[in-house]
Amino acid sequence: MKESQGKTVYLRDYRVPDFLIDDTQLIVELFETQTLVSARLKMRRNPAAQTPQAPLVLSGRALELLEVKLAGKVLAGSDYQVDAEQLTIAGVPASFMLECRTRIKPQENTSLEGLYKSRVMFCTQCEAEGFRKITYYLDRPDVLSSFTTRIEAEKLRYPVLLSNGNLLASGELGGGRHFATWQDPFKKPCYLFALVAGDLENISDSFTTSSGRKVELKIFVEAKDLDKCDFAMDALKRAMRWDEQVYGREYDLDIFMIVAVDDFNMGAMENKGLNIFNSSCVLAKPETSTDFSFARIESIVAHEYFHNWSGNRVTCRDWFQLSLKEGFTVFRDAEFSADMGSRAVNRIEDVGMLRTVQFAEDSGPMAHSVRPESYMEISNFYTVTIYEKGAEVVRMIANLLGKELFRKGTDLYFSRFDGMAVTTEDFVQCMETVSGINLTQFRRWYSQAGTPELTVSRDYDAKQRRFTLTIKQQCPPTPRQPDKEPFYIPVTVALLDSNGQELPLQLGADDGQATSKVLRLTDAEQQFTFINIPEAPVPALLRGFSAPVKLQCDYTREELSFLMSHERDGFVRWEAGQQLSLAVLNEGMQARLAGQPVTVDPVLITAFGSVLQAALVDVNADKAMLANLLLLPPEAYLAELAVPADVEGIHAVREQLRRQLAHELADLFAQVYHANVSNESYRYEARAIAGRTLKNTALNYLMLLEDPHWFAIAKQQYDSATNMTDQSAALRALVNNPCAANQSLRETLVAAFYQQWQHETLVVEQWLSLQSAAPVPGNLPAVQQLIKHEAFDLRNPNKVRSVIGAFCNSNLIGFHAGDGSGYRFLADYVIKLNASNPQIASRQLTPLTRWRKYDTTRQALMKVELRRVMAEPKLSPDVFEIVSKSLQD
């Protein structure tokens, strides 16, 4: 058991640092068996701290301290204390130079935090608290320092030496070694420090900022990947322009670099001037990458670039403020993606993710607010709540203020706090200052966890021509927050007449004639009465998903299918379809439990039929939107909605419904498939993407006919595909719909795919996850075979995510196998990963923590595995926090 295990950090305990570091000079000498780090820190007592007697306490972990000098004098062992976490020196003067020499072993660092080796290169990951694994330091985001970094390494193996900022000097050293010195002109917290050394190639380009400064852009990769950088470079330039146009933010250094590494715990990292990316989040070419990964790359490249202002120039005071940079930056990248492609489809996909993954987190044992009150291990708080819900909170503010005031607010925020480490409160105050809008109640979105639940009822008074919406809100308890105060919830509504026309909305006689209105829900229950309403309307509620809430309204199925075909707002339209499917699915699950036959309401068949018709005849239709309308709610979402979740029922009834839709609408699916086959060469462009999405959605349904004709067509698509989107979609369609009739074809193509792509790591990852995620009961043995496959590597996070993550998160029926085998499998690997990479171990554990969602038999099986993990002797703080919190009542 680690000493720090079980220690909780509280927001309310925040104190300013006792010391500041004005300047940091590092010399990093890289060798094959060790690295020597020399740090010269120009330090002084923090005038704001008023703790003149406080000892100097620096964080350090897994460091071997070789020498400490204070003001030029070597300290004796009795002058300081050092333990596994800290270096403490008492009686230091008001200002001084501190020099530390330490030895580290990046080659042995499997945690991928601090300085480590990814295959053949050295790289770093310092956020959140990894810098302390490089040298003793004040490893907290409110200590900003200027950095000069000299890297020394063997020239042949590591010809490229990079760090933040500008290259000051470089040259030869004796013995086949060389050096490079980088200086970052901007002060920054150490979590933004980065260093890379390796045999890297690069593509380079340039960008001229709006004020006419020329910036050099470089993407560094291993030689094998040089052909996959162009798309990211293009996305980067578009992001740079967009941030100038939309936020008035210009890039501030003369060079911007991206490095791709194969071993990385997360997606990417915004280190100042030197972003480091998981190669899966930056490398793409049509032959190896799907439309999905192109989109992901575009948004992550933009996300990390946008951090240069929202995160780096203005940073976080402490890690409780993480959403200050992450929520805001996700909002920024989502808006960028919306401007680049289909706004409605981007929104639907983001909302779909939020509702399955974030809502589940919000109702589980790790539920926390956007600004948490406490944590044990900060790495566990890089969550969908901080990122995605945080972005929804910023979106609500942006909508409340409107475009112009929001821009004024962000301008004020960036100018007022440039070069500072601040809080979400500072952000909100800027928004209040520029707008005069009181956000007091709104602030509860930052402090209260849980997903608010809205219930809407309606009343139409034909005589008075009045339509009244009564909206109630409540929020279930979450750990340490039993009672919630009402939230400020913006509910955007429209009222449709029987022709689908929007009615003018007047809440009072002197109200305007707007056809879409934001209702401001502030109380536990509120009524909104619209006047001059000529007929009973169908309300379109929560347009644009105007708040991250669950909303219930007693729509009839006819009303839902009416909204699906008449509403203009993409989210409401899609949500109506989801609700309609949900009603049919629930009915089916009830019938199944009662031992009765499952029948499908023809209303749903008709609704899906008209979507397919629209795809064939409506030339203006957004085909990506239509493809989304053809998807039933995912199993994970159905599980999120029900307590207890009926694992077998969800899978069986959903599959049966898909099958029935395929049979009833076979001709339309076939026509839609053929109408969208294209022989144009691949382009990553909205219309082309939409066509492929729709075609491959149809193909998935057509597989369910179990017709040799359609298997042959899938094979033909596989064989003739010139891009990975179509090739992998054909393979996935077969793998996800296994039956005796396609068995030999399926097995042949699975093997052929590996043969063809075994040397492309990123494609192999897709191959692994496509098989592991296949929603097929009883496929655990196949997943275990993949773990034994030569392509698998437990040390590589992408491989872990592709096999273990894909199985446990995407294959509901496999992971929740009634005999508990899925749970045992996950616990086994969490225990293994706990020793090598705690961050990955604790992340993988998440599906086991959701035991309260399932029946008592499964609950017991899941808890057995959690307790087995809990009983491990050397549990990391990361895993300890998740497992202990998930076992608390």
**Which whole-number Å values give the CA distances from 811 to 139, 771, 779, 808, in the listed order?**
39, 10, 9, 6
Q: Is the CB of 162 or the CB of 625 nearer to ligand TRP? A: 162
In whole angstroms, give the CA distance from residue 136 to residue 67. 11
Label residue 565 exposed, middle or buried (CB < 10 Å: 0-12, 13-18, 19+). middle
DSSP secondary structure string for all residues of 60-97? --S-EEEEEEETTEEPPGGG-EE-SSEEEE-S--SEEE
Annotated active-site residue 304? The verdict is: yes
Partner in contact with 128, chosen from Zn ion, ligand TRP, none, beta carbon below 5 to 8 Å by kind: ligand TRP
**Least spacing, CB of residue 270 vs ligand TRP, in Å:** 5
Which window, 121-129, 153-161, 449-457, 536-544, contacts ligand TRP (CB under 6 A)?
A: 121-129
Q: Are 240 and 251 in contact (CB under 8 A)?
A: yes
CA-based torsion, 871, 872, 877, 878: positive or negative: negative
Residue 362 sits in the site that holds ligand TRP (CB under 6 A): no
In whole angstroms, give the CA distance from residue 247 to residue 329. 12
C-alpha atoms less than 13 angstroms from C-alpha of 32 in its C-beta half-sphere: 5
Residue 542 sits in the site that holds ligand TRP (CB under 6 A): no
The two structure tokens encoding residue 613 = 């018709």
The two structure tokens encoding residue 606 = 């008709």
In whole angstroms, give the CA distance from residue 319 to residue 332. 20
Q: Is the CB of 274 or the CB of 694 nearer to Zn ion? A: 274
**Least spacing, CB of residue 833 vs ligand TRP, in Å:** 15
In whole angstroms, give the CA distance from residue 594 to residue 770. 34
**Least spacing, CB of residue 341 vs ligand TRP, in Å:** 21
Q: Is the CB of 128 or the CB of 783 nearer to ligand TRP? A: 128
Residue 382 sits in the site that holds ligand TRP (CB under 6 A): yes
Q: Are 520 and 488 in contact (CB under 8 A)?
A: yes
Residue 268 sits in the site that holds ligand TRP (CB under 6 A): yes
User: CA angle, corner 632, sides to 628 and 635, nearest 5?
Assistant: 120
Residue 139 sits in the site that holds ligand TRP (CB under 6 A): no
**Least spacing, CB of residue 419 vs Zn ion, in Å:** 20
Candidates 265, 342, 435, 473; binder of ligand TRP (CB under 6 A) is 265
Which of the following is catalytic: 270, 298, 304, 640?
304
**Least spacing, CB of residue 299 vs ligand TRP, in Å:** 11
Partner in contact with 269, chosen from ligand TRP, Zn ion, none, beta carbon below 5 to 8 Å by kind: ligand TRP
Q: Are 190 and 145 in contact (CB under 8 A)?
A: yes
Residue 129 sits in the site that holds ligand TRP (CB under 6 A): no
**Least spacing, CB of residue 329 vs ligand TRP, in Å:** 7
Spatial neighbors of 78 by CB under 8 A, at least 6 apart, are none
Which window, 123-131, 449-457, 565-573, 697-705, contacts ligand TRP (CB under 6 A)?
A: 123-131
Binding mask 598-637 for Zn ion (x = CB under 5 A): ----------------------------------------
- Say which residue the tokens 């919830």 belong to: 489
Partner in contact with 806, chosen from Zn ion, ligand TRP, none, beta carbon below 5 to 8 Å by kind: none
Q: Is the CB of 381 or the CB of 488 nearer to ligand TRP? A: 381
Candidates 289, 379, 628, 742; binder of ligand TRP (CB under 6 A) is 379
Q: Are 699 and 718 in contact (CB under 8 A)?
A: no
Range 314-353, binding ligand TRP (CB under 6 A):
326
**Least spacing, CB of residue 424 vs ligand TRP, in Å:** 16
Q: Which of 48, 26, 23, 47 is nearest to 36 (CA)?
A: 26
Q: Is the CB of 265 or the CB of 660 nearer to ligand TRP? A: 265
Residue 730 sits in the site that holds ligand TRP (CB under 6 A): no
Q: Are 691 and 675 in contact (CB under 8 A)?
A: no
Range 316-375, binding Zn ion (CB under 5 A):
326, 329
Residue 125 sits in the site that holds ligand TRP (CB under 6 A): yes
Q: Is the CB of 315 or the CB of 473 nearer to Zn ion? A: 315
Q: Is the CB of 346 or the CB of 700 nearer to Zn ion? A: 346
- Residues in the interface with Zn ion (CB under 5 A) total 2
In whole angstroms, give the CA distance from residue 51 to residue 81. 20
Spatial neighbors of 843 by CB under 8 A, at least 6 apart, are none
In whole angstroms, give the CA distance from residue 885 to residue 366. 7
Residue 304 sits in the site that holds ligand TRP (CB under 6 A): yes
DSSP secondary structure string for all residues of 292-313? HHHHHHHHHHHHHHHTTTBTTT
- Residues in the interface with ligand TRP (CB under 6 A) total 13
Supply φ then ψ for residue 759, to 5 degrees: -95, 0
Sites of contact with Zn ion (CB under 5 A): 326, 329
Sites of contact with ligand TRP (CB under 6 A): 125, 127-128, 265-266, 268-270, 303-304, 326, 379, 382
Q: Name the residues annotated as catalytic.
A: 304
